[in-house]
């Protein structure tokens, strides 16, 4: 059984992370309202005064594929539509049987918003990461419009990796990298050409994290802070409603390509990970399987954005957002 004391072991200091970030912004999760579910595998970005959140959706879920929500304040959320009405024509040929667009990731590269997403079928690694781009997220702007950029990276049954769960990070030297992966041999990293949004010529996926069989690791998210790269990952099993055992861990490295280690020095290539989110840390015991995180960093204020399964509402995947504090020795704490 995990406890909040366990998660905070090692000391918050700095005036207890400024009184636990003003009581976690008066418990942001308790104040959130609007279209909070179903939300699975969220990603987030802000343009101007609006936060934009995208998430996984299936072919039978209205209003389309990759649901799109907005908020002016991280509190009130409105479902405004979807990125695609249907899958691209080429999708079935690339991944036979695909019926959804999974695990999107949103970033701004060379003045265009890049929305990466995954095409797959459950439990198989014939998968593809694809891309849509637009110059703006403001739908009232005449320049707005999603453009299908096709396949970015694919995996096939003979590969030892699964090309899903993309996440983009830019390094201070201006290079762009994509982490990705789910089960199989773990999480990978590949360099991206900013001019195309696709792997740089000659770039090959390199391993950055793995776990022993059944290899239950996925959903990487890398952020840079104070000269460290932090790799968040989801362990164990999602997609089982209130029976989901998903939880979130982190390791860090001085280099984007690793090696990543946890707070105890255990390599993430050997299953290491410092716990950031876990159902046992929810004092209400209501939200299960917290994972597939995105980290929103702006103005010196950080938030961790994720989904969890609401045990009081039949296990529906639900949007959750918490302030992210940092210990004096540089480890993230979900407040």
In this structure, are residues 184 and 162 in contact, taking their beta carbons and an 8 Å threshold? yes
Task: Please report the pLDDT score of residue 103 as a whole number.
Answer: 98
**Collapsed DSSP state (helix, strand, coil) of residue 268:** helix
Phi, psi of 94 (to 5 degrees): -80, -45
Q: Tokens 């942001």 appear where? A: 28
Distance CA 303, CA 221 (A): 13
Q: What is the CATH number of the domain that holds 231?
A: 2.115.10.20
Q: Which of 309, 305, 223, 315 is nearest to 260 (CA)?
A: 223
Tokens representing 285 are 């015991």
Q: Is 41 a catalytic residue?
A: yes
- Residue 286: domain span: 4-334
pTM: 0.94
Distance CA 206, CA 234 (A): 19
Task: Please report the pLDDT score of residue 102 as a whole number.
Answer: 97
Spell out the residues 6+ positions from residue 196 whose beta carbon is closer than 8 angstroms to its own: none
End-to-end CA distance of the chain: 19
Distances (CA, A) of 176 to 57, 150, 169, 229: 27, 19, 6, 13
**Collapsed DSSP state (helix, strand, coil) of residue 29:** helix
Q: Which residues of the chain have pLDDT under 70?
A: 1-26
Task: Please report the pLDDT score of residue 299 as a whole number.
Answer: 84
| pLDDT tens-digit readout, 85-144 | 999 999 999 999 999 999 999 999 999 999 999 999 999 999 999 999 999 999 999 999
- Please pick, among 25, 105, 191, 218, the residue that the annotation labels catalytic: 218
Task: Please report the pLDDT score of residue 184 as a whole number.
Answer: 96
Distance CA 323, CA 65 (A): 29
Q: Is 94 a catalytic residue?
A: no
Distances (CA, A) of 201 to 195, 205, 224: 12, 12, 25
The total number of structural domains in the chain stands at 1
């Amino acid at each position: 059984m995990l406890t909040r004391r366990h998660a905070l072991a090692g000391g918050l200091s700095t005036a207890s992370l400024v009184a636990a970030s003003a009581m976690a912004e008066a418990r942001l999760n308790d104040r959130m309202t609007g279209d909070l579910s179903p939300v699975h595998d969220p990603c987030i970005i802000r343009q101007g005064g609006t936060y934009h959140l995208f998430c996984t959706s299936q072919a039978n879920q209205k209003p389309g594929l990759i649901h799109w929500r907005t908020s002016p304040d991280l509190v009130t959320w409105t479902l405004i539509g979807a990125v695609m009405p249907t899958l691209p024509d080429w999708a079935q040929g690339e991944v036979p049987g695909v019926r959804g667009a999974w695990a999107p990731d949103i970033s701004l590269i060379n003045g265009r918003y890049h929305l990466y997403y995954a095409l797959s079928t459950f439990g198989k690694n014939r998968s593809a990461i694809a891309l849509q781009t637009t110059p703006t997220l403001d739908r009232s702007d005449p320049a707005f419009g999603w453009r299908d950029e096709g396949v970015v990276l694919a995996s096939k049954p003979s590969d030892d990796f699964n090309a899903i769960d993309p996440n983009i990070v830019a390094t201070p030297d201006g290079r762009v990298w994509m982490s990705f992966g789910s089960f199989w041999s773990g999480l990978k990293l590949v360099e991206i050409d900013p001019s195309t949004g696709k792997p740089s010529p000659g770039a090959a996926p390199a391993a950055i994290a793995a776990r022993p069989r059944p290899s239950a690791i996925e959903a990487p998210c890398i952020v840079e802070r104070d000269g460290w790269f932090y790799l968040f990952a989801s362990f164990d099993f999602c997609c089982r409603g209130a029976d989901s055992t998903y939880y979130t861990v982190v390791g860090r490295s001085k280099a984007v390509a690793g090696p990543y280690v946890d707070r105890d020095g255990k390599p993430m290539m050997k299953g290491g990970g410092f716990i950031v989110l876990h159902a046992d840390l929810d004092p209400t015991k209501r939200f299960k399987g917290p994972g597939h995180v995105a980290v929103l960093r702006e103005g010196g204020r950080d938030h961790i954005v994720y989904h969890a399964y609401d045990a009081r509402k039949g296990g529906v995947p639900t949007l959750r957002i918490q302030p992210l504090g940092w210990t004096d020795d540089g480890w993230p704490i979900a407040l």
